[in-house]
Amino acid sequence: MNILKEIEDSFIKPPKNELLMRVSNFKKLLESKNIDYALIFYNVNLFYFTNSIQRGCLLITDDDAKPYYFVQKHIDRAKLETYSDLIEVIEIKKISEVFSYLKELGLMDKKRVGLELGDISASFFINLKKSLKDQEIVDITYDILRLRSIKSEFELSQMREASKMSDKIFSIVPSFLKEGMTELELAGCIQAESRKLGNQEIIRMRGFNNELTNPHVLSGISGAIPSAGDVPLSGYGPSSAIAQGASLKKIKREEPIIVDYAGSQNGYINDETRVFVIGKLPKELERAYWISREIIEFVETHVKEGDNGKDVYKEILKIVEKYDLLDHFMGYKKGRVRFVAHGIGLVLNEFPIIADSRDEELKENMVFSIEPKFVFPQKGAVGIEVDFIVKKDRLERLSSFPLDIVSV
Amino acid sequence: MNILKEIEDSFIKPPKNELLMRVSNFKKLLESKNIDYALIFYNVNLFYFTNSIQRGCLLITDDDAKPYYFVQKHIDRAKLETYSDLIEVIEIKKISEVFSYLKELGLMDKKRVGLELGDISASFFINLKKSLKDQEIVDITYDILRLRSIKSEFELSQMREASKMSDKIFSIVPSFLKEGMTELELAGCIQAESRKLGNQEIIRMRGFNNELTNPHVLSGISGAIPSAGDVPLSGYGPSSAIAQGASLKKIKREEPIIVDYAGSQNGYINDETRVFVIGKLPKELERAYWISREIIEFVETHVKEGDNGKDVYKEILKIVEKYDLLDHFMGYKKGRVRFVAHGIGLVLNEFPIIADSRDEELKENMVFSIEPKFVFPQKGAVGIEVDFIVKKDRLERLSSFPLDIVSV
């Protein structure tokens, strides 16, 4: 495959050591769980270990052997994208050929096999299970997510670049924002600007039925319209078929305009939210906005490595309760979700999750997006979303755009 | 939930009879396969049967009972979106509550249960299987796809509206197209215009690891860059992490610029492709373009209800072979895909598929998107994609934008 020079130069390849380290950490994980080998199919995980998301599967064993990247389509691209000296890239016509290789490698006899059961489909699993015969299958979905939750310096550098994109977008939203335009129209202006900046068109969220829009633009009452997603703010969307995100509602003066936006670099994303308003927000919403800000400031000055997400969540709820806004926090009543922050990286819903029910220790170089948001029926939503890197004795902000309400 | 009047008016609800008919056709299908009941989780199928994609599941039995729509989030929206007199909408806190209802309804004893095994995840399936105890599980993924492949008049009217959107977009591409702009920049201009027209931000494709960009903009050599997807043209994409679609490559004079675009209405989409060029195409590519056009004309004048997709595919290959372009058809050599048309509707990859290996009879009111495309290494791709409705004695075109190369 002959690649244009300008494209080859713009594609970023992680350092070779980076991929070596990821694979070696995964091998340690396999060993610690007595898993003999794993077959990886989910494109995000393929990318994490190989820097390539071509169609096929990756075999990683618990011993010193190189990973095998079996590729159906397209082999030339896979070879170009990964490091062929670290990873054996092998062309296959059908997935079933993988089992012949497994047999040849002595990996078909009473082994424990790791599979991404949270990602592959049921029917694919049923077929795999037949081919793997009497081998024991172990779910590795969450193990890989945990591995991915701690970012390397290379990954943090990608996410810092992604953050520059959201900073830039927030800074130019006021130049588009006009009374009477639809939410979708504002979303379109932001999308046009995003493409100029090179933002990827696909922002990933893992999990069945999970979909998203980028940007997520909600104005006034839209911010208070609930829907299916495990998110604090949903919006009308353009129809019942999409049921989230920007709609044909026209933007008015003196209502909160939520812009939730993910920048990207090389697959890595950030995820921040700011509130815009034409004129001034109603008092009740402005007050809630300042409570969001108080929460962000509390987190920024108190949270660090070693803290438990559950405790952080409890402390945040205390602030919300102090202002008597529990029914409005992260959705309204039945629409409330029980987390306040989620990890980011290659997808929008990684670990850690800072939530009611999750006993999760924050570790150095985890990155999370914290989004205290308040919903007021008929009026809309306000809140802030900010990305933080967990450091030994503090948090480090990923982006630099100010946290104030942007009044136009 | 109090909905804004302007939004309520813009949301389209299918006629009550339409949903009744879909459910009743599905009940017949269950009966014919001796399935006692089905549990439906995939949001596209939920929408098809209820006009709502809230989180939960839909129970449809093979007898006269109303469907039960169990909703976790958000109940108010589900009630508003569906017809509560046709479908029992029941609030649940956890999916596990569904099994208590099944027990109460006498549906837990040695029944045959239909599940969407091609859509739900392996781990979700494993848990469901435990809860369903010794009941027999049958895959209904493809049965529902077959049901959905034949469109009602209401569905066709939605798709005709979606087509007007792509007609409009193709007509204004020349006003954006400038030498030296990046593919992503052109994609952004199209996205901004799309949002003004109200096009939905999420265009769905079913299946594990399947992702897409809308529009899919590829210029010159990009059209010849293969990737993982089961599509004829992939493109560089913005990085190895996305690996498809528009990239940072700059658009030049006298190279083919592919714009593959889906309009939408109420979840229904269309899918067409046109070739644009600044100046004039090289002779070799122009010739291939006219062969695409010959194929479209052959199909439009010869294909009708009752034809087999396999035979149609063979006839098309004969045209390609006549011009000695087999290695270039639908991808280059190893990058070739073995279909030439796919169904469209609520997702981009529905039935029917017109392909080498598929014995598939075309039925009245199926809608397919046929896309004869040719790939030339280092030079790019050309081709046309047009949507057709299958009628008794002919095909009917869904859109009306001319098939010519658009020269700017």
Predicted confidence at residue B38, as pLDDT, reads 98
Would you mind telling me the total number of residues written for chain A in this entry?
408
Backbone CA torsion sign across B79, B85, B91, B97: negative
Q: Is the pLDDT of residue B292 over 90?
A: yes
- Measured CA to CA, the distance from residue A376 to residue A332 in angstroms comes to 7
- Measured CA to CA, the distance from residue A174 to residue A171 in angstroms comes to 7
Give, in degrees to the nearest 5, the angle at Cα B339 between B336 and B340: 100
Per residue in B232-253, pLDDT (tens digit) is: 999 999 999 999 999 999 999 9
Structural domains in chain A plus CATH codes: 5-148 (3.40.350.10), 150-407 (3.90.230.10)
B320: closest CA of chain A, how far (Å)? 23
Say yes or no for a CB contact (<8 Å) between A74 and B335.
yes
**A268 neighbourhood in chain B, CB within 8 Å:** 241
**B169 neighbourhood in chain A, CB within 8 Å:** none
B297: closest CA of chain A, how far (Å)? 31
**A117 neighbourhood in chain B, CB within 8 Å:** 121-123, 126
Average pLDDT of the residues in B362-379:
97
Average pLDDT of the residues in B374-395:
97
Which of A4, A237, A239 lies nearest to residue B249, judging by beta carbons? Answer: A4
**Strand spans (E) along B183-291:** 216-219, 257-261, 264-265, 268-269, 272-277
In chain B, helix, strand, coil percent, each to 5? 35, 20, 40
B84: closest CA of chain A, how far (Å)? 15
DSSP class per residue in A1-19: ----HHHHHHS----HHHH
Which of A6, A51, A201 lies nearest to residue B246, judging by beta carbons? Answer: A201
- Measured CA to CA, the distance from residue B178 to residue B173 in angstroms comes to 10
**A193 neighbourhood in chain B, CB within 8 Å:** 188
Which of B11, B194, B241 lies nearest to residue A188, judging by beta carbons? Answer: B194
Average pLDDT of the residues in B109-122:
95
Q: What is the pTM of this model?
A: 0.97
B15: closest CA of chain A, how far (Å)? 14
**A41 neighbourhood in chain B, CB within 8 Å:** 208-209
Q: Is the pLDDT of residue B7 over 90?
A: no
pLDDT band at B1 (very low <50, low <70, confident <90, very high): low
**B76 neighbourhood in chain A, CB within 8 Å:** 226, 334
Per residue in B65-104, pLDDT (tens digit) is: 999 999 999 999 999 999 999 999 999 999 999 999 999 9
Which of A41, A194, A249 lies nearest to residue B188, judging by beta carbons? Answer: A194
A131: closest CA of chain B, how far (Å)? 15
Strands A272-277 and A406-407, sheet pairing: parallel
Instruction: Tell me which of A42, A52, A57, A73 to substitute to probe the interface with B (most B C-beta atoms closer than 10 Å).
Output: A73
Which of B239, B246, B267 lies nearest to residue A266, judging by beta carbons? Answer: B239
Predicted confidence at residue B9, as pLDDT, reads 75
**A70 neighbourhood in chain B, CB within 8 Å:** none
Per residue in B160-186, pLDDT (tens digit) is: 999 999 999 999 999 999 999 999 999
Higher pLDDT, B270 or A134: B270
B293: closest CA of chain A, how far (Å)? 28
Predicted confidence at residue B27, as pLDDT, reads 98
Say yes or no for a CB contact (<8 Å) between B249 and A7.
yes
Size of interface A-B (CB pairs under 8 A): 294
Average pLDDT of the residues in B336-351:
97
Which of A3, A227, A377 lies nearest to residue B54, judging by beta carbons? Answer: A227
Predicted confidence at residue A1, as pLDDT, reads 63
For B352, the enclosing helix (H) or strand (E) is strand B350-355
Residue A119 near residue A56, CB atoms below 8 Å? no
What interface predicted TM-score (ipTM) does this complex get? 0.97
> Per-residue confidence of chain A (408 residues) as pLDDT tens digits?
667 777 777 789 999 999 999 999 999 999 999 999 999 999 999 999 999 999 999 999 999 999 999 999 999 999 999 999 999 999 999 999 999 999 999 999 889 999 999 999 999 999 999 999 989 999 999 999 999 999 999 999 999 999 999 999 999 999 999 999 999 999 999 999 999 999 999 999 999 999 999 999 999 999 999 999 999 999 999 999 999 999 999 999 999 999 999 999 999 999 999 999 999 999 999 999 999 999 999 999 999 999 999 999 999 999 999 999 999 999 999 899 999 999 999 999 999 999 998 999 999 999 999 999 999 999 999 999 999 999 999 999 999 999 999 999
